[in-house]
Amino acid sequence: MSYKIVFFDIDGTLVNEDKVVPEDAKRAVAELKATGVEPVIATGRAPYFIQPLLEELNIESYICLNGAYVVYKGEPLLKREIAKASVEALVRMAREHGHSLVFQGEHGYYATHQDHPFVTRAVDSLKVAQPGYDPDFWEKEHVYQVFLLCESGDEHLYQGRLGELKLIRWHEHAMDVLPESGSKALGIAALLEKLGLTAADAVAFGDNLNDKEMLDFVGLGIAMGNSHPELLPYADYVTAHVDEAGIRRGLEYAGLLPVQPAVTG
């Protein structure tokens, strides 16, 4: 199979725990581009979090906010906001349980509480600027995704009450809240349709729970060696750890780069 496009998650896939792109991954992405195969970012992050990475890797197209916001070569292709009624219900439940929320819009993100420790810890783990403070942001602007800040195990307080929304945990104190039907796969499908490609033409790399649908959807789903165990059943292949040439080894397996001998000590 000759694949024509490759989708890359960011955290734990293109970047390591220090939020640095390993040099071997940089070279692999550059070599991939040189073959004429387009690399595309597919992340849960918002577009204002990823601009430095796009510039570093010379990538023009991306799927953000777990499929809710898609840009192809600088032009918006899909914007799928959460219904106001759904956000309002979430705000009401979070207030009931004393939990903080962070609303993610198109150009910025805003918290319902100032200096909340869970917000600080979760956002610090992404190594991005802390959100602004505006508890009423959701009433004035489109919201594409929400962070729900709560202890691991508090999911049961919301299960069965979220209507058309779902939760995906990405930090011990934080979960993504997105439409029940939302996923990176939805954004990928929109981009593939524009390009006249099929899912069979695509490869995707991921490592965490929000990558399940994406890996299952594409022609070749590749899980990183450092992946969450629950992701592995959705992958066609498990490559090496992000810090052990996982991107290059996966592209080699896909037949998109020539195989290099492993470096031994």
Q: Is 9 a catalytic residue?
A: yes
How far, in Å, CA of 47 to CA of 244, rounded? 27
Reported in sequence order, the residue ranges of 80-143 that DSSP labels E, i.e. its strands, are 100-104, 109-111, 132-133
List, in order, residues 6 or more apart from 34 with CB less than 8 Å away: none
How far, in Å, CA of 125 to CA of 114, rounded? 18
How far, in Å, CA of 254 to CA of 215, rounded? 14
Exposed e or buried b for every residue in 53-77, given b needs 16+ CB within 10 A?
Answer: beeebebbbbbbbbbbbbbbeeeeb
Paired tokens of 93: 């439940």
Number of Cβ within 10 Å of residue 15's Cβ equals 18
How far, in Å, CA of 114 to CA of 111, rounded? 7
Nearest to 147 by CA among 45, 64, 53: 45
Contact indicator for 59, 27 with CB cutoff of 8 Å: no
Residues marked as catalytic: 9
